Chains A and B, each alone.
Chain A
Amino acid sequence: MNARLARYLSGGFLHAVLILIAVAWLVPTVGLFVTSWRPRPDIFGSGWWMAFSTFRFTAENYIEVLTAQGLARNFLNSFAITIPGTLLPVLIGALAAYGFAWLKFPGRDWIFLIIVGLLVVPIQMTFVPALILARGLKLTNSLLGIWLAHTAYGLPFAIFLLRNFFAALPRDLVEAAKMDGASDLGVFWRIVIPLSVPAIASLTIFQFLWVWNDLLTSLIFVQDPNLLPLTVGIAKLLSTYGTEWHLLSAGSFILMAVPLVIFFSLQRYFVQGILAGSVK
């Protein structure tokens, strides 16, 4: 029995299972993609798998959702939220990681241990008081509130990942530079950062996707309806037009476009980041 199973697993059966899995994983996305290019009456008239027999495609859904439904605005807001929401935590996190890896100050190891603990604290624990604080400082009507929130929530992972990477750099290199009179800031910019490009790239991609894809933090910290990101814009679209698939499908693909481009162009760093963050 087992020998037969083993034979199956190296033959046609193996390929059949793998191809079935790959198809099953692709089909839901492909279905919505095809739908996003079909005219509204066709979407309700026949399944998307029939689309190639009618063969009528249009960009109308994308135009409507971007203009009449205003997702173009949300799209720009998503960039306005995500770019600072990525650069700030990477920069602030890298500085702190350098401090934890190479500098001495009282309580350093204890503070770092607390940050490792913070890695898993549910952000729900912070929402109400952080929102009161952000409101008090008048941050919720601009994007400053959401930038700072994303920075703070991203910092534990950023510091953890980079500190481990920095600490593994050769000690001689750092000490030799200091002998030559380099300041800590100089060592940080000219030695540690250039040597850590792969780790920083992975972290940047992660943080970018995390912020771009985030719904929950934006629901709470962005209160000006003109500043809402795509995720919230689409959630609103969904609650207004529950089954208007021509709008929802096009909207979803506008939301997915940026992550997909990043995925296909930078998959290597993405995978490296996952491995660095989860298994050591």
Chain B
Amino acid sequence: MTAQRHTFLTWNWLFILPALTLLGSFVVYPTLWTIRMSFDTGLGLRLQKFVGLDNYIRLLTRDQFFLNLSTFPPSGAVINNIIWLVLFTTLTVGLGLVIAVLADRVPYEPIVKAVVFLPMAISFTAAGIIWLFVYSPDANTGLLNALITAIYPSWKSVAWVGRVGTVTYSVIIAAVWMWVGFATVVLSAALKSIPQEITEAARVDGANEWHIFWRITLPMLTSPIAVLTTTMVINVLKIFDLIYIMTRGGPQGASRVIAYTMYTETFEAGKGGYGSAVAVIMLLLIIPVMLLNLRRFQAEEAER
């Protein structure tokens, strides 16, 4: 009996052992090591010299590319990430909701949804090049400048991703173009799960479409909108590829975000400790979302 039980136990562990080994060596242990390295210079990506909180203090007070509060408006990667957070999240969720609700009323709904969803399948690399081409400062090749020139013939072509004032917004639009389809698909599915009888009953009672949207549809979509917003917030914090392809953080560091700063400080400047501190800040920013996920998961488990 004891022997049998022993084998039984070993067998069970074997199912999760490969996963635990990989997660342990590539995710959990490295995460702890990165926290340790953030208190070190980490030059050459090795532990060199313990420096306490120096990396964090330098990042938050003296690195004008990371957080610069001395100018107006403030600038730096953190500020850019806040602009991303506000614009990317509201635009993807908002446009997704509008498209889902409008497309729900037409027979060619699947085509509209597929067209909007298509960019989700392609890479940030390809999307970056597609949008660099749209933004091309040459009005002969760049669609955006050509369109504006067609409307205002005296328009002087703008280098959308080459100017400090426009670069972040231009990249955000490309990202929104990619992710609206995701929001549309999620919200459209949620929309379809609202029982028809409820909206029909409201219509019989004389409610117009506008009221039905605000009083019935929207309140019933609260939960999917919340989940979607969390997903978009995580996306914003992880945004890297699009910046790497479209701007390399430029011009003059104007389009840097936190995830890009981590990469460039660690792997291009070789400052392992400094880059690790940036990574730890990313982790700290994402912990509220993690706790939210865990709580939601536990609530779902309790229902099982």
A interface residue numbers (CB < 8 A to B): 2-3, 5-6, 9-10, 14-15, 17-18, 21-22, 25-29, 31-32, 35, 43-49, 92-93, 95-96, 98-100, 103-105, 111, 113-122, 124-133, 148-149, 151-153, 155-156, 159, 167, 184, 188, 209, 212-216, 219-220, 231, 234-235, 238-239, 243, 245, 248-249, 251-253, 255-256, 259-260, 262-263, 267, 270-271, 274-275, 278-280
Contacts and interface: CB of A to CB of B under 8 A. Distances in A.
Given A14-B105, A213-B123, A126 B30 contact: yes
A241 B108 CA distance: 41
Interface of B: 9, 11-13, 15-16, 18-20, 22-23, 25-31, 33-34, 37, 42, 45-46, 99, 102-103, 105-106, 108, 111-112, 114-119, 121-126, 129-134, 136, 138, 140-141, 143, 146, 177, 180, 182, 185-186, 189-190, 208-211, 223-224, 227-228, 231, 234, 237-238, 240-241, 244-245, 248, 259, 262-263, 266-267, 272, 275-276, 278-280, 282-283, 286, 289-290, 293-294, 297-298, 300, 304
A27 B134 CA distance: 9
Contact of A31 (B134, B224, B293): B134
Contacts of B266: 127-128
Given A96-B18, A255-B125, A245 B133 contact: yes
A238 B129 contact: yes
A222 B76 CA distance: 30
Nearest to A43: B141
A18 B113 CA distance: 10
Given A119-B293, A120-B293, A25 B115 contact: yes
A151 B124 CA distance: 21
Contacts of B30: 125-130, 133
A190 to B, nearest CB: 15
Nearest to A9: B209
Contact of A18 (B106, B131, B241, B262): B106
Contacts of B223: 279
A95 B19 contact: yes
A252 B129 contact: yes
7 contacts: A48-B143, A95-B19, A115-B23, A252-B125, A255-B125, A259-B123, A260-B118
Contacts, number: 292
Contacts of B298: 113
Dominant secondary structure of chain B at its interface with chain A: helix
B293 A116 contact: yes
A95 B18 contact: yes
A111 B20 contact: yes
A26 to B, nearest CB: 6
Contacts of A117: 290, 293-294
A97 to B, nearest CB: 9
A30 to B, nearest CB: 10
B15 A256 contact: no
A153 B27 contact: yes
Contacts of A129: 29-30, 33-34, 37
Given A47-B143, A122-B286, A125-B283, 20 more contacts: A25-B118, A26-B115, A95-B18, A96-B16, A120-B290, A121-B27, A128-B34, A129-B29, A129-B37, A155-B23, A156-B27, A188-B15, A215-B125, A215-B240, A219-B267, A234-B129, A270-B121, A275-B186, A278-B228, A279-B186
Contacts of B278: 124
Contacts of B182: 274
Contacts of A214: 123
B302 to A, nearest CB: 12
Contacts of B129: 32, 234, 238, 248-249, 251-252
A274 B45 CA distance: 37
Nearest to A152: B26
A259 B26 contact: no
B141 to A, nearest CB: 6
A96 B19 contact: yes
B106 A151 contact: no
Question: Which 9 A-B pairs have CB atoms at the shortest separation, nearest pair first?
Answer: A99-B15, A213-B123, A152-B26, A129-B30, A96-B19, A126-B30, A129-B33, A263-B121, A6-B209
A31 to B, nearest CB: 6
A120 B130 contact: no
A209 B121 contact: yes
A278 B188 CA distance: 13
A136 to B, nearest CB: 11
